Structure 1
Amino acid sequence: MNLTTTVMMILVFFLLCSGIFQFTFASNLRIFNHTSEDKNWTEAQHECNETGGSLVTLYDDEDATFMQKYMTKSSSWFVSSVWLGLTKTRTNVTTWSNGAPFIFNRSSVNINDGQQICEAMDKNTWKGFTCSGKHYFMCYKDNQYVLIEKKKDWCQAELYCRQHYSNLVSISDEEQNQKVIKEGKNKTFWIGLLHDEWEWVDKTCSTYRTWSDLSDSAGTEAKCTVHVQYLFPKPIKPHECFQGATTFCSTGDTRIRVINRTATWEEALDYCEENYISLLWIKDVNDQEAVKQWLEVSGYTGTFWIGLRQSIMFGFWIWKDSPVLESNWKDDKAPEMPFSNQCGVINATDNKWSDENCFNEHPFICAEKILKY
């Protein structure tokens, strides 16, 4: 160990002990695996549980496309049906996102099978919209109601409220209803009411519903679902839970979001913090494998900003405000001052990190927290 490395380690230890740096790595990046033997839904979910995961939840078209490509790349045979974690098991079809009892009702929503409807305030009246639509939303904390004039889908709005306030607003009486109307400024905005017969087995919030067919008798009776490759781009199909399908699992509670627009490192950081959590961090070898899997299966090439930055004062590399504990530098050596650039990129071809001038422009990768109830 050379003198420079020793000094850096001492400085990192001092800063961690002093509280200047805080560990923020309580989460893990989402990673996927599958087995070829067909199982029924219960057997498949049990197999996923044994590895600390769950049958996969799809959050958007990007997830569905990834699943399609993953099965094509990793299977030597054609896979027709792959189990999803979506099941028709909700005991309460209409629920407030904060768990409050549904005792006050101004809703006119009646859902049909397969629908997921979320409630919004529209022209001072409760109105149901498809949950994947994007609207303003209202958060609350203590007795304060705050209208957030940013357009997000219902799950994204709920996550934002939990991160910055307490939750999406719930309404338990007419007095609260009038207060929400007053604070809503005559806008259309989400409130915390969800109408849905289906739920993902890992208890996460997803507005993704691209049914292939719910009209046949099997579809209306089945309580489990599969991803069907040949039905893409509407791959979700009801499937009897006792029948067989391929097991597809995921672990981790943070999504990898590749942003295909160019920006400087600071601009990328601002974008990720505004729309997700932050620029991507990679805390260990499992995270490194998750990033490699996502980039490789999705077919990305080129270099992308990640959350790496070099301390100008001390010279060591950090994830914004936390130390780098496991690295994957090009040539297996971290760039050192005074010859290094101060921001980090990852190469999608070999997953190696390198330094870049922070004012260069690259596409970038964000980390998105998965909302779990």
Structure 2
Amino acid sequence: MERVLPFVLLISGFSGVILCKPEYHFVNETKNWIDAQTHCRNAYIDLATIHDMEDISRVKSIIKNEKSAVWIGLYKTDVDLWKWSLEDKSLYSPGEYEFRNWDTTQPTLEPNEECVRALEGNGKWHDAACDEQHIFFCYDENLNATLINESKTGHSAKAYCREKYKDLASIRNLKENQQLHEIAQKKSFWIGLIRDSWKWSDGSNSSFQYWSSGELFNPVNSNEYCAVITPSDGLWGDRTCTALLPFLCQKEKEIKERKTIKVKLKSETAINMEDPKVQAAILQQIHERLQLSSDVKVTWKKQADGNVFHENKERKKKRKREDL
């Protein structure tokens, strides 16, 4: 049964959220991917998950002196899902994330066709080998689409957009499809839809990928199911999981930014606010009220006297008068 505490929770003095990033640790020992995963889980938390270009820069600075590729926590599964490169669903109106404009007989789901292009002529979508070269659109921070009139492979186009803008552009409805089709002068162009069968070892739902051009185009029977990062440019490749390589682990999240929350409680009944169970219940309410993600840690800050809460002076005087 859900426990309801008899007080009103008021929150003030809070701005922003606590931002966290993985703490990466390079292990200069050569192991296959499975053994590297086991080592990281025993000594740290897991093989490294990389969330964005900021993480790429951090990793590059850690492994910059390494000559060989380095294992990260990405691996291939048997489950294929169509995802937008810009996966944050809060940026889409209802129904827009699921919008599709496939041509007749599409998608074909051929093993090497993991990218999507809008077809010249009618603007319908085809799945395509990512090593094809086409022009493309990038989203800026305001989700305005800019035409990049330079032909690149699918993965190179995505990497370019993430480095120079925000991401490879999505198409959220038929109106956008027609607009971009006309801007591209009815030429074929890449869109941000990808067929993704890669997962992170720690279960993270990060959709960020930074593949090197020419990767992922292996024959059907290829066994290159594990991912590496190259120290020189931070780009990723797929390798046979039995290869012996150094690897990157991640530790507990480190606090990048700390914010203070001031809590004021009103209650008509007596509550022991120093009771750990009461304090834990209040923290849970704060988490829910502020809609904090699961990786944000909220703790109490004790005052100089060792207590977390102090009774309001006016309330304290009133209580004393009532006790007389």
TM-score over 0.5 (shorter chain): no
Flag the structure with more relative contact order, 1 or 2, with Cα contacts below 8 A and sequence separation at least 6. Answer: 2
Give the TM-score range, shorter chain.
0.3 to 0.5
Please give the TM-score of this superposition, normalised by the length of structure 1.
Answer: 0.40
